[in-house]
Amino acid sequence: MAFPNFKNKHANDSMFNPKDYLDYQRKREKYDKFNPPEGVILCYSKKLMEYVLENHKTTKVQRFYGEMYLLNETKNKIAIIGKFGIGAPIVTTLLEELIAFGIKRFISIGTAGTLQKYLEIGDLVVCEKAIRDEGTSYHYLKASKYAHASKKMTERIKKALDALEKKYLLGTSWTVDAPYRETVAEARQYQKEGVATVEMEASALFAVAQYRGAEMGAMFTISDSLAELQWSPKFHFKKNRGGLEILYKVALAALLEK
């Protein structure tokens, strides 16, 4: 059976859209009033959010899921949002509402598992495309193996990494929203295909951004490994946190790039 289940779904309009939801919330006076930032960093790590708040002046605003902060040093042109959870459904719902609010440039930064033995904990990966092994993206784009990052945003990310003289891999990720059902057979196959990482959001974010005409880039730091066809978690390593801090600085520079 093809997915989505309803045939020709992509030819039909949505019953309601994220602007309708924002209008509903505005009527209930649930939001702070502020101008949309030019770009947003999507952050999944609580420790990274703590690092940003400890080291940068910010203004907290209420409007979306999780916690959103305008970064004062950017004259509030860039914001970071976190503590909204993990996985494709929640982050794409958030993305939809951010786009409806008027924001068009995004970078997702987080951790990923490696499928390749040459990638080590704390290494940096720029995701140029992702295997669509989650359900959300198929409600936006017709079936295909991959969803692709914005070429413009990916180039900005690469430029920022090069300016900081940081080593990174440009590669493909396997996006799956059922982490406890990743199998050895799948990992072995994608490893053979040269897929670099596994994570839970990238392909869905790319699909929604493409559908809505927004720019989306994604970067990861390696936090665990499936390269030996068994799970080896290293989330607690300092190199992992250091990698996330680098990704934040890179995302900030890339989003400020005109």
Q: Summarize pLDDT for 167-210 with one digit per residue, the tens.
A: 999 999 999 999 999 999 999 999 999 999 999 999 999 999 99
Q: How confident is the model at residue 162 (pLDDT cuts 50, 70, 90)?
A: very high
Q: What pLDDT is attached to residue 30?
A: 66
Sort 251 into a burial class: Cβ within 10 Å, 0-12 / 13-18 / 19+.
Answer: buried
Q: What pLDDT is attached to residue 26?
A: 83
What average pLDDT does the structure give for the chain?
95
pLDDT over 90 percentage in the chain: 86
| The pairing of beta strand 169-176 with beta strand 39-43 | unpaired
Q: In sequence order, what are the beta bridge partners of 39?
A: 78, 105
Domain ranges of the chain: 17-256
Q: What pLDDT is attached to residue 78?
A: 98
Residues 93-109 have pLDDT tens digits of 999 999 999 999 999 99
pTM of the model: 0.96
Residues 31-88 have pLDDT tens digits of 778 899 999 999 999 999 999 999 999 999 988 889 999 999 999 999 999 999 999 9
Contact in structure between 156 and 217 (CB atoms under 8 Å): yes
Q: What pLDDT is attached to residue 161?
A: 98
Question: Peptide bond preceding 4: is omega within 30 degrees of 0, i.e. cis?
Answer: yes
Q: What pLDDT is attached to residue 111?
A: 97
Q: Distance (Å, rounded) from C-alpha 94 to C-alpha 99?
A: 9
Q: What pLDDT is attached to residue 202?
A: 98
- Residue 35: partners with Cβ closer than 8 Å, 6 or more residues away: 76
Residue (of 164, 47, 163, 161) closest to 107 by Cα position: 161
Tell me the CATH architecture of domain 17-256. 3-Layer(aba) Sandwich (3.40)
Q: How confident is the model at residue 1 (pLDDT cuts 50, 70, 90)?
A: low
